[in-house]
Amino acid sequence: MLEAVVFYILAAALLGFGLLVITRTNPIASALSMVGAFGALAALYALLQATLIAIIQILVYAGGIMVLVIFVIMLLNLHEEDLKPMKARAGTVLLSLLAVFGLVLGPVFLAVFPKGNWKWAALTNDFGSIFTVGEKVFSDYLFPFEMLSLLLLAAIVGALVLSKRKL
Amino acid sequence: MELFYPVTPTHYLVLSACLFGIGVAGVLSRRNIFISLMSLELMLNAVNLTFVTFSRINGDLTGHVIVLFVVAVAAAEACVGLAIVIALFRLKETVDLDLFKSLKG
């Protein structure tokens, strides 16, 4: 019972913050709502016994990526009058929400729901801990993991080249 | 009551689909480039939630590993995307997506 209560509170927070992200005029307000959404998501991961993922979500997303986004928003120093023309129009947002949910997700829910009888697997206590996930990463997925470091290096160099005034 | 309790995998999957839908609606309806980028991140996170849920359903950690990779790729994407935003802002002095139409035929 307690798990269900926590789940519904977190789900409402997640969707509420998500809606705030796409409706605010000021990008800073959107970014802070995004941090709230990531917090709710991390709690949901913890509820799913994904401890490592929950920690990574807070550290990398809320702590790293969102700080970068907020930093760039503040760097560009946009004023109220610059943001006015990009205000969210209630009609457009509602129309796109209705289109996405009515035309795409609604039919999918109706098709999947009656057949969706997935059950939770019985888990050991250390499922999703740093030790077990790390073991998997460094045995079965070692090569993709190493490729990831190359990708991050390429991203660093690319970001520097793109944002430098003169090379 | 059976629709809401107990919490089954389907609840998590529907929740992540709804989050994905919100992200798509954000990309479709907003003109501010920052909010479009953040909606993109919302979609990535919705997919991560699906991965973790299926991992929990199957009792298999592969989904967790893929989520770690997705987070790393999202970090790379955010860093390059924001660099592009800065370069575009230098060129046009705006972050309005509707004004970036030089490639339109």
**Cα-flanking dihedrals φ and ψ of residue B65, to 5°?**
-65, -45
Within-domain flag for B102: no
Cβ–Cβ contact A5 with B under 8 A: no
DSSP state of A50: -
Within-domain flag for B28: yes
Q: State how many domains chain B has.
A: 1
Within-domain flag for B25: yes
Write out residues 35-54 of A within 8 Å (CB-CB) of B.
Answer: 37-38, 41, 44-45, 48-50, 52-53
Give the mean pLDDT per block of 10 residues along chain B (105 residues): 77 92 94 94 95 93 95 94 92 87 80
Q: What residues of chain B lie within 8 A of the CB of A165, using their CB?
A: 90
Beta carbons within 10 angstroms of residue A8's beta carbon:
15
Q: pLDDT by residue (tens digit) across A142-152?
A: 999 999 999 99
Question: How many residues are recorded in chain A?
Answer: 167
Task: Look at the block and give the residue holding tokens 């927070």.
Answer: A13
Q: Which residues contact A61 (CB under 8 A, 6 or more apart)?
A: A38, B41, B45, B71, B74
Domain that holds residue B17: 9-96
Burial class (CB in 10 A: 0-12, 13-18, 19+), B82: buried
Mean pLDDT over A70-76 rounds to 93
User: What is this structure's pTM?
Assistant: 0.92
- How far is the alpha carbon of A67 from chain B, nearest alpha carbon, in Å? 11
Within-domain flag for B79: yes
Burial class (CB in 10 A: 0-12, 13-18, 19+), A34: buried
Q: What is the CATH number of the domain that holds B30?
A: 1.10.287.3510
Cβ–Cβ contact B64 with A under 8 A: yes
Looking at residue B1, its pLDDT comes to 57
Within-domain flag for B40: yes
Within-domain flag for B56: yes
CA atoms within 13 A on the CB side of B41: 34
Q: pLDDT by residue (tens digit) across A81-140?
A: 888 888 888 899 999 999 999 998 888 888 877 666 788 888 888 898 999 999 999 999
What type of residue is A126?
D
The ipTM estimated for the assembled molecules is 0.92
CA atoms within 13 A on the CB side of B11: 21
Within-domain flag for B61: yes
B79 neighbors B35 (Cβ within 8 angstroms): no
Give strand pairing partners of B32: B96
The residue of B12, B38, B48, B77 whose CB has the most chain A CBs within 10 angstroms, and thus the best one to mutate to test that interface, is: B38
Which of A4, A14, A73 faces B19 most closely, judged by CB atoms? A14
Looking at residue B7, its pLDDT comes to 85
Within-domain flag for B105: no
